[in-house]
Amino acid sequence: MFSPTIKQLLAEKTDTFIIPVAKIAFVQANNPLYHAFLILTRVKYAKIPVLDQENHVVGLISLAMITATMMGTHEITSEPLNSLKVRDVMETNFDKINLSESTLESQLHLLIDNPFLPVVDNHDIFQGLLTRRKWIKAFNYITHNLEKEYKIIKK
């Protein structure tokens, strides 16, 4: 459990934890695979969210997943890019969070194994991403400001 002091300092930064959906590259589950390939190649992210028509996060897709489908036994072929949809290749077993239902501790534990977590609201609508990078920046803020705002006394 986080100490109340740490929680207070983190609370000062929680509004900067989430990257809003408007700033995130994503694809639709029904998009052709070549569309995801183009998006991932241009934005240079390792993995991006996949949404359905109602803006629910239904998966994650990476360039590695796409190139794995392009590997034949003796050659690389672009045919799967034209014949498959994103939903045919995407990862469907992934962690996501609802900020109103998760604790700071649970978020941090999930970010140990995930570079980002899709954030959804109470209707499971995609709201943005919580990233490990943002959490590390918050931790950096605490390490530099804890003793500026609090007197630390060893027990």
The pTM of the full predicted model, rounded to 2 decimals, is 0.85
Q: What is the pLDDT along the chain (155 residues), one digit of tens a residue?
A: 677 777 777 777 666 778 999 999 999 999 999 999 999 999 988 899 999 999 999 999 999 999 999 887 688 888 889 999 999 999 999 999 998 898 888 888 999 999 999 999 999 999 999 999 888 888 888 888 778 877 888 88
Alpha helices in the chain (DSSP H): 4-11, 33-43, 63-70, 79-83, 104-113, 132-149
- Lookup: tokens for 138: 């918050």
- What is the distance of C-alpha 34 from the center of its chain? 22
Inter-CA distances, 107 with 22, 70, 126, Å: 22, 35, 16
